[in-house]
């Protein structure tokens, strides 16, 4: 059993007597990419903002890294937790470098270390450090601003990253690129990430764990595959969407799970890590019914059209 990064126990929140989050309990293991998913008004954003105490909660306990969040001053708590939001909230009068350096400077890092960290983060987010560090936010595109927002959230090397619909306001192509970046960054850094979205496709693509919320309560928790194959209630089934469920299944299953090891085929290989949807797309464009499958060490097997529907 992996250690829990966040333990939420029996947390409730009401606004003017109206329940927003009710008796919510959740444990997020270290290193997870946990997506809080649900329709608007289901309390997912409020739940996220209670973790770093931007919203006070009425009852229950929240622990981050084993420590009760109420036992530390809110500013100290927030500096240990990265936070990225949809509208980025970059400070328009500060250069990119200063925006990213916000928390390290609050923590009193020496100037040289701050500078190195900014270079490192811009590189991690695939923005050329020398081109971007001196620019102002308004000189960047929406996608670039969002990258800077993520870099800023990671700046002080927090163990936990909270993201509130960070990619909801960018165009689909940019969103796709940002999602890939986030998956890569998650793999490279091993950070625990809690990510709020109402977009089921985004959740299926990013999550290691999906938490579906319904009117302030936990409706289901599971891996993307669990959620699609075994929806716990009609609500989850409807929300995940009955139509196109076959395609969604293809987009969460991996080639590695369905391939025939040891066989071989002609043509360009597809990665074992790729989804079945990507394999299907490759078959359609190449008019091939069999594709070789490769991992980092070379060809390891074959996937055929029939394997997709097994």
Partner 1 sequence: MRAVLKTPALWVGLLFAALLVDMQALRPLFAAGFPGVKPEIFSRAGFIELFLSHLGLVAVSSAAATITGIALAIFVTRPVGRDFRTIANMLATIGQTFPPAAVLALAVPALGFGPRPMIVALFLYGLLPILENAIAGLEGLPPALREAGQGMGLSPYQLLRDVELPLAAPVILAGVRVSVTIGIGTATIGSTVGALTFGTPIFDGLAGNKLPYVLQGAVLVALFAILTDLLFALLARRLQPPG
Count the site residues for partner 1 by CB under 8 A.
26
Q: State the Cα–Cα distance between residues 27 and 8, nearest whole angstrom.
A: 6
Give per-residue burial for 223-237: e unless 16+ CB within 10 Å, then b: ebeebbeebeeebbb
* Cα three-residue angle 12-18-22, rounded to 5 degrees: 25
Q: State the Cα–Cα distance between residues 102 and 245, nearest whole angstrom.
A: 43
Q: State the Cα–Cα distance between residues 108 and 113, nearest whole angstrom.
A: 10
Residues in contact with partner 1, shown as a per-residue x/- string from 69 to 108 under the rule CB under 8 A: -----xxxxxx---x-x-xxxxxxx--------xx--x--
For tokens 């992996």, the residue is 2
Residue 309 has a CB neighbour count (10 Å cut-off) of 10
Q: Does 16 bind partner 1 (CB under 8 A)?
A: no
Piece in contact with partner 1 (CB under 8 A), picked from 16-24, 132-140, 172-180, 202-210: 132-140
Residues in contact with partner 1, shown as a per-residue x/- string from 139 to 178 under the rule CB under 8 A: x------------x---------x----------------
Q: Does 138 bind partner 1 (CB under 8 A)?
A: yes
Residue 172 has a CB neighbour count (10 Å cut-off) of 8
Closest contact distance (angstroms) between CB of 24 and partner 1 is: 20
Whichever of 33 and 103 has its CB closer to partner 1, that residue is 103
Closest contact distance (angstroms) between CB of 87 and partner 1 is: 4
Whichever of 15 and 91 has its CB closer to partner 1, that residue is 91
Q: Which residues bind partner 1 (CB under 8 A)?
A: 52, 54, 74-79, 83, 85, 87-93, 102-103, 106, 136-139, 152, 162
């Amino acid at each position: 059993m992996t250690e829990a990064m966040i333990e939420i126990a029996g947390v409730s929140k009401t606004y003017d007597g109206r329940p927003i989050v009710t008796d919510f309990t959740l444990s997020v293991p270290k290193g997870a990419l946990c997506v809080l998913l649900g329709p608007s008004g289901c309390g997912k954003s409020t739940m996220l903002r209670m973790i770093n105490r931007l919203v006070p909660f009425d009852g229950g306990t929240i622990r981050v890294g084993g420590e009760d969040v109420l036992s530390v001053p809110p500013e100290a708590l927030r500096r240990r937790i990265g936070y990225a939001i949809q509208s980025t909230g970059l400070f328009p009068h500060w250069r990119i470098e200063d925006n990213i350096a916000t928390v390290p400077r609050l923590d009193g890092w020496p100037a040289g270390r701050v500078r190195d960290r900014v270079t490192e983060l811009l590189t991690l987010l695939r923005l050329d450090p020398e081109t971007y560090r001196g620019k102002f936010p308004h000189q960047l595109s929406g996608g670039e601003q969002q990258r800077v927002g993520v870099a800023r959230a990671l700046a002080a090397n927090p163990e936990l990253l909270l993201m509130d619909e960070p990619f909801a306001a960018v165009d689909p192509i940019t969103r796709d690129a940002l999602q890939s970046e986030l998956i890569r960054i998650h793999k490279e850094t091993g950070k625990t990430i809690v990510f709020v979205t109402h977009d089921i496709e985004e959740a299926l693509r990013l999550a290691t764990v999906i938490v579906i919320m319904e009117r302030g309560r936990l409706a289901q928790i599971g891996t993307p595959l669990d959620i699609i194959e075994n929806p716990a209630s009609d609500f989850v089934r409807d929300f995940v969407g009955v139509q196109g469920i076959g395609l969604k299944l293809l987009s969460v299953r991996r080639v590695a799970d369905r391939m025939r090891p040891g066989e071989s085929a002609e043509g360009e290989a597809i990665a074992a890590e790729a989804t079945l949807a990507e394999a299907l797309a490759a078959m359609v464009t190449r008019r091939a019914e069999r594709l070789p499958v490769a991992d980092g060490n070379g060809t390891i097997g074959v996937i055929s059209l029939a394997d997709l529907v097994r």
